[in-house]
Structure 1
């Protein structure tokens, strides 16, 4: 009888597991066993399990089960008293520790506690809050420091001649070495090293492949053949690409611009750290090293090929480019960026776009209307006007406040609140349903993002979503006609609510 009463009194909990490393210490199984013992010792019953295997904890982006756990609690899909996690770092190594505290507070507001089983935090609430903030800061700092250390380690390996990822290119192979630099095997496409002490270097492929690379450069430099003609000639002569398929113009071009054939490898041209946007790094940050193998193509020959590619369109005037486009139109009956790029005797589509402010303005100058429906450009233009009207309305509604606007995007009220206004175009899907794609501009770092969903004609807003920066939404959102409760919490029928918020902010500042 007593056992039944104890069973009824058990605390209902869910467990959240996360692992972004292969270290056995953090395996999902080890976390689950530890949490199970904690639950048994504290009269808890684990009713639900959420796990994100192989997911970084620096943000909630890509952590499907974490987001589902939060949403299930908010929408009352599950009825629990607490969420058990192994430690603070498993809950998340957030770059901003307040983000982790925010999610804990959000669950607390829904009467669900977050318990870090391995941390043994004190029962005193003030002390617990202080220590928890420190632990979350340490967890986020660990990811940042680890990123710096990993990058430094990669740089060190690059300078010692070891290869650090990416597709080598036709005629080059990846060779696996042990910790004594003794060759182990050639890695095929998709294969990776399994031991941390192993290293990878680039080596030439077969003599047939390297001879073909030399042939391609000679045909391009000395015979004056463009990429399309080289590909056609190689296919006629029976040459095949590494996967036994035909050569194409783009494959020839990738050979001609691959400086690894000179025995050099350039690292850190681009970078993407801690889930941030990939960026092009300045040339002074590039890291270059000499490979272990003898160059297949001399630096002089590679430079000549690069000059030919770079000089194709430099000397062409705007009038000559337009004549070139007219010739393409006469030949093909239509124009597109792909067709332009396939013509080797003229500028690339990117050059045309940069000269005339886009491909469409260039098409307009030669009286060409593309087949594709570009009415969305007119819609975007009207949305920009509507965006300005909304900003003017804010000026009128809060005329006693100090308002500053950066690049017509970031709005600051009384030097205390920053926000952006985003007008989301309505798109009709083939199914007949509507979608609104929203791209949040994280670079501006606004405290609030106000999203106005436009009607089906894209003439007037139908409602507004007021999203705080503390809520870690995806950079790109896809809103439906009816969304889950997590979004609906921030939906308002009119912008009057936001004006009232701003008025409150103004009074608090005063």
Structure 2
């Protein structure tokens, strides 16, 4: 179902099909609809999928499928795709009738030519619309208006009307209500701006790695965007984003026609000055040079080995978190870059990683591994790599990667959060539970201290 024209509203389609059925003597027994879904791909078209499944498997005995017009199968860029779905219905003995087309779908040469033309027209309509929308987005970005995307730390969204008069700041998850309104990006609260400036100072002047910066911020209890913990990727996002010097950059990637994102060359980017700089331009330029240099390669291997041997002697074991938390060793990523992998670096200093547990050598079936993920989900409310590695009845998470390719695939097969939105929701849940647990722990310590004072 499409919503770009009133003609294609769900109510209008239903009325037109009902009128056609009454005129031709059909009784409508089932209705399949994909309200508000894109017709560019089959993804998300549950109604169409169910229709094809019912027809092909014969679970429902229909004499005909009534479709408003040829474009309702979808505006696929491959016109054979919609033709294939019509063929599946006909091949199962179910006729396909178009209610609003000026021709009969009787298999004649005329109807075949007209259907192919209609499919090509539907495909071209989507292609032209996609390019028009993309061009409009670039023009709006050039005027300084935000075109969506992940909100950067240290930045807020200001809603303005068509005359650029400020209305109010939008909170996380809020959207504009009027199409004439626009969104500007403005500097965030002073505490976040101070953290951003500290990140640049630690990276450029103090020569700290991004992982070590993240650890320092987490130890101080400073949350990242939406209360999440800092990590290497989020620190890098702050260091590399031109919003820190006041410029909004758009069209780094293209997402035309629901295809895979494509990186655009810099000459196609749209850059506009939207706010005052948060950090000094020279400091930002130094950070970009450091990022391009890949600082880890500046270390000498003998010095890295000596530091790792010292750390192994102190801690009796080595992990990524232990290395990144150590003040005198390079980051774990630097060791992986120099030695090819952390396992190779561990071997140089004589450390052998522990096995995955008492059942590390056992062969697990796919279903056994997925059932273990469901068990962890039931026990903790969410599943992380730390949960998997800490469970003595499971192999380490590398076994899941070897079997399923990615942890996201494993989560999806187990019925756990797997899409981006679901993973974000799960991450927010983890952060909430962690804060509640910390609050309970601190509250318990205060009560224990009070009781001890009363006894004395």
TM-score calculated relative to the size of structure 2: 0.68
Hey, what does 2:119 align to over in structure 1? 136
Question: What CA distance in whole angstroms lies between the structure 2 residues aligned with 1:431 and 1:217?
Answer: 42
- Alignment partner of 1:429 is 2:368: yes
Q: 1:230 to 1:319 in 2, by over 3 A?
A: closer
Hey, what does 1:79 align to over in structure 2? 61
- Alignment partner of 1:104 is 2:86: yes
- Alignment partner of 1:346 is 2:330: yes
Shift of 1:200: 1.4
**When the two structures are aligned, how many residues end up with a matched partner?**
369
Question: What CA distance in whole angstroms lies between the structure 2 residues aligned with 1:341 and 1:284?
Answer: 37
Hey, what does 2:276 align to over in structure 1? 294
Q: SS of the counterpart of 1:346?
A: coil
Q: Of the candidates 9, 20, 38, which is equivalent to residue 56 of structure 1? A: 38
Hey, what does 2:76 align to over in structure 1? 94
Aligned partners of 1:93 and 1:143 also within 8 Å: yes
Aligned partners of 1:176 and 1:187 also within 8 Å: yes
Shift of 1:305: 2.6
- Within 5 A, what are the aligned runs for 1:454-473? none
Aligned partners of 2:152 and 2:225 also within 8 Å: no
Aligned partners of 2:244 and 2:278 also within 8 Å: yes
Question: What CA distance in whole angstroms lies between the structure 2 residues aligned with 1:91 and 1:163?
Answer: 34
Aligned partners of 1:204 and 1:210 also within 8 Å: yes
Q: Of the candidates 158, 161, 164, which is equivalent to residue 175 of structure 1? A: 158
Alignment RMSD (CA, Å):
3.9
Question: What CA distance in whole angstroms lies between the structure 1 residues aligned with 2:212 and 2:347?
Answer: 31
- Within 5 A, what are the aligned runs for 1:374-389? none
Q: SS of the counterpart of 2:121?
A: helix
Q: 1:296 to 1:129 in 2, by over 3 A?
A: same
Hey, what does 1:207 align to over in structure 2? 190
Range that drifts further, 63-72 or 125-134: 63-72
Q: 1:372 to 1:138 in 2, by over 3 A?
A: farther
Q: Of the candidates 152, 158, 169, which is equivalent to residue 135 of structure 2? A: 152
Q: Of the candidates 275, 279, 283, which is equivalent to residue 258 of structure 2? A: 275
Instruction: Provide structure 2 residue ranges, at least 5 long, that are not aligned to the other structure.
Output: 357-364, 373-408, 414-456
Deviation readout 1:316-366 (Å, 9 max, x if unpaired): 3666666666666656665666666667853564x6666666666666666
- Alignment partner of 1:36 is 2:18: yes
Q: SS of the counterpart of 2:119?
A: helix
Q: 1:230 to 1:97 in 2, by over 3 A?
A: closer
Q: Of the candidates 223, 233, 244, which is equivalent to residue 261 of structure 1? A: 244
Shift of 1:241: 4.9
Deviation readout 1:196-247 (Å, 9 max, x if unpaired): 3222110112234323432443344344555566566667777555656776
Aligned partners of 1:95 and 1:140 also within 8 Å: yes
Hey, what does 2:424 align to over in structure 1? none
Q: SS of the counterpart of 2:30?
A: strand
Question: What CA distance in whole angstroms lies between the structure 1 residues aligned with 2:272 and 2:72?
Answer: 38
Aligned partners of 1:59 and 1:94 also within 8 Å: yes
Deviation readout 1:472-503 (Å, 9 max, x if unpaired): xxxx999x9xxxxxxxxxxxxxxxxxxxxxxx
Question: What CA distance in whole angstroms lies between the structure 2 residues aligned with 1:47 and 1:145?
Answer: 37
- Within 5 A, what are the aligned runs for 1:391-430? 427=366, 429-430=368-369
Q: 1:145 to 1:363 in 2, by over 3 A?
A: farther
TM-score calculated relative to the size of structure 1: 0.62
Q: 1:173 to 1:139 in 2, by over 3 A?
A: same
Question: What CA distance in whole angstroms lies between the structure 1 residues aligned with 2:123 and 2:198?
Answer: 52
Question: What CA distance in whole angstroms lies between the structure 2 residues aligned with 1:161 and 1:333?
Answer: 54
Shift of 1:128: 0.5
Q: 1:332 to 1:267 in 2, by over 3 A?
A: farther
Aligned partners of 1:312 and 1:347 also within 8 Å: no
Aligned partners of 2:370 and 2:410 also within 8 Å: no
Q: SS of the counterpart of 1:197?
A: coil
Question: What CA distance in whole angstroms lies between the structure 1 residues aligned with 2:211 and 2:282?
Answer: 23
More helix as a share of residues? 2
Question: What CA distance in whole angstroms lies between the structure 1 residues aligned with 2:52 and 2:221?
Answer: 58
- Alignment partner of 1:313 is 2:296: yes
Q: SS of the counterpart of 2:28?
A: strand
Aligned partners of 1:219 and 1:230 also within 8 Å: yes
Aligned partners of 2:212 and 2:331 also within 8 Å: no
Q: 1:343 to 1:49 in 2, by over 3 A?
A: farther
Q: 1:369 to 1:67 in 2, by over 3 A?
A: farther
Question: What CA distance in whole angstroms lies between the structure 1 residues aligned with 2:323 and 2:35?
Answer: 44
Question: What CA distance in whole angstroms lies between the structure 2 residues aligned with 1:339 and 1:277?
Answer: 37
Shift of 1:40: 1.6
Deviation readout 1:152-198 (Å, 9 max, x if unpaired): 11111122211111223222111122222222221111111233322
Aligned partners of 1:171 and 1:206 also within 8 Å: yes
